[in-house]
Structure 1
Amino acid sequence: MYESFFKLSKKPFELVPDPEFIYLSGSHKKALTYLDYGIRERAGFILLTGEVGSGKTTLIRNLLKKKYERVVLAKVFNTRVNFEQLLSMINDDFGLPVSGKGKVALLHDLNEFLVQQFAAGNQPILIIDEAQNLDVDLLEEVRMLSNLESSQSKLLQIVLVGQPELRQTLATPGLLQLRQRISINCHLTALKREELPQYIEHRMRVAGNACALEFTEETLDLLYCYSRGIPRLINTIADLALLTGAPRGPGPISANVVRQAARLLGHPVAHGQQPASRRTRPVGRPVWPRSADRGAGRRCTFR
């Protein structure tokens, strides 16, 4: 709608998790390094968490673009299911027949498939997104999938991706064994204020014109204040700001335009101060809740 006015080939602030647009902040770069290491080293369980809109799914899709040699992938995004339904979705994504099969048959088929893949030298990986929706019993069932093994190694690598609530669930005493199997443990944080101009410029460049628009420092401060540095919120506000600002003609996007866009989207009025963060833990606090086992996996909290 505003692309022609700003001489853009595409919209720069779409909400779809397009790896082409990913901006690797310090947090994202470090997480990507650890995730890449975990996959190459065939770590048993990998955990990636972050706030809603922090870029978890985009990061995973960027990771998968690396086209790892001999990786066979299954992805599950619908996690409001029971274990039999989850198992059916896993098998289906691996290309196995699932119609009319119950839990026992599905587990048998999955085990046979994993043994065949191991014999062929392949590396099956299961990615479960939105894993914060899994309850304790279901997470324990997922852990049991990692017991499928040959005499030499685990047959299935599992990546759990979810919001910070997933860590609260994993902290429960009944999931101690699962926590101890997590080898790579990462949490994405929001963008820093100084990363915001780079983030916007990067997305504008990918969209076809890095110099399409200008934000004043006051406007950037306000945008950061409303978005709290969360990429998805930055995108929604910036997209509406561009739509609102285009009819006003050339010139920097004003603070009033950003303020109007934020209000239309229902974000709280900032009054020049950063609103209280809705993150589940303050910066500087441990990634694991206090009640959890602190020794589980490589823990990396990135800022």
Structure 2
Amino acid sequence: MYQSYYGFTEMPFHITPDPKFLYLSNTHQEALQHLKYGVHEKKGFIVLIGEVGCGKTTLCRKFLSELDPAHYDTALVLNPRVTETQMLKAILTELGEPNLARSKNDLVAQMNQVLLDRIAKGREIVLIIDEAQNLSFEVFEQVRLLSNLETDKQKLLQIVLMGQTELKDRLAAEELRQLRQRILVHYELRPFTRDEMDRYISHRLTVSGSMGRPHFTSWALRRLYKSSRGIPRIINNLCDKSLLSAFIRESDEVNYWDARRAARDLERLTD
């Protein structure tokens, strides 16, 4: 509704993980560098943890877009609520393998051969598992065993586990002590600071084609930060509702009352 009124080329506060809208705060920049370092240095296991809505998936897509497709093959698993066999099939399917073995043992053998063939051709293989806190202990163990696949000189597979803060508790379990010992790169995303949130909102408005309108007042921004706690997804929801409120008033200024109304609407939805 408000897109044409404010002259946006597209909606500024969609919650879809579009890398174009990625704002690299200090914590996101550090997280991206940890991912790059872990993969380029072949560290084997890399863990990225963050609160719900902190931008892990968007950051992941940014990371994937910066891997050279001429050198890297990637597999992204988005649904980790699977059995060991289903996980193996999902990885091979993501890698573009058309004919899959049936049994778990045969799938592991096929995986090993596929990885060896690709390494021999100069490829690097990166597996990313999103929402990894939902993996069963059995699938965690299967993933750990995949990390055993190696030549005399290198691991065949670089594995990135991404998940919510519950992933820390899962990895702390006694059953996963062997996997935990193999995690050489670990980073936890932090929410935005107040200054970062202000720059984030300005960035998204600019990317969407804003020519200076609408304007968020300092009191509106203060209310948005209090309600969002610096979490990008919540900021997006609140800004979208605040813009709608300002549009209804036919105003070029998003004020405190617009932000307060947006916060109360969101609270009613989440109660």
Work out whether the TM-score is over 0.5. yes
Deviation, 1:97, is 2.9
Runs of 5+ consecutive residues of structure 1 not aligned to the other structure: 270-303
Where does 1:139-158 land on structure 2 (aligned, <5 Å)? 139-158=140-159
> Against the structure 1 CA distance between its residues 161 and 98, is the aligned structure 2 distance closer, same or farther, given a 3 Å change threshold?
farther
Where does 1:1-303 land on structure 2 (aligned, <5 Å)? 1-68=1-68, 69-98=70-99, 101-209=102-210, 211-266=212-267
CA contact (8 A) 2:147 2:157 kept: yes
Deviation, 1:231, is 0.1
CA contact (8 A) 2:87 2:139 kept: no
The aligned length equals 269
**Amino acid across the alignment from 1:228:** R
- Structure-1 separation of matches of 2:268 and 2:222: 15
**Amino acid across the alignment from 1:149:** E
Deviation, 1:66, is 1.1
- Structure-1 separation of matches of 2:126 and 2:213: 41
SS at match of 1:209: coil
**Amino acid across the alignment from 1:243:** L
- Structure-1 separation of matches of 2:269 and 2:90: 39
- Structure-2 separation of matches of 1:138 and 1:17: 26
Deviation, 1:189, is 0.6
**Amino acid across the alignment from 1:54:** C
Runs of 5+ consecutive residues of structure 2 not aligned to the other structure: none
Report Cα offsets for 1:228-283 as digits up to 9, x if no partner: 100000001111111221121233211111121222222699xxxxxxxxxxxxxx
| Percent identity of equivalent pairs | 44
- Structure-2 separation of matches of 1:243 and 1:83: 46
CA contact (8 A) 1:226 1:268 kept: no
> Against the structure 1 CA distance between its residues 268 and 228, is the aligned structure 2 distance closer, same or farther, given a 3 Å change threshold?
farther
The residue number in structure 2 matching 1:298 is none
Report Cα offsets for 1:73-92 as digits up to 9, x if no partner: 01100011111111111111
SS at match of 1:3: helix
CA contact (8 A) 2:92 2:100 kept: no
CA contact (8 A) 2:100 2:107 kept: no
Deviation, 1:142, is 0.7
CA contact (8 A) 2:48 2:189 kept: yes
Report Cα offsets for 1:218-237 as digits up to 9, x if no partner: 11111011111000000011
SS at match of 1:233: helix
- Structure-2 separation of matches of 1:238 and 1:168: 33
Deviation, 1:135, is 2.5
- Structure-1 separation of matches of 2:252 and 2:3: 16
SS at match of 2:90: helix
Deviation, 1:23, is 0.5
SS at match of 1:78: coil
**TM-score when scaled to structure 1?**
0.85
CA contact (8 A) 2:42 2:154 kept: no
Task: Report the structure, 1 or 2, having the larger helix content.
Answer: 2
> Against the structure 1 CA distance between its residues 135 and 11, is the aligned structure 2 distance closer, same or farther, given a 3 Å change threshold?
same
- Structure-2 separation of matches of 1:99 and 1:145: 17
- Structure-1 separation of matches of 2:112 and 2:192: 41
Deviation, 1:151, is 1.9
Runs of 4+ in 1 over 4 A off after TM superposition: none
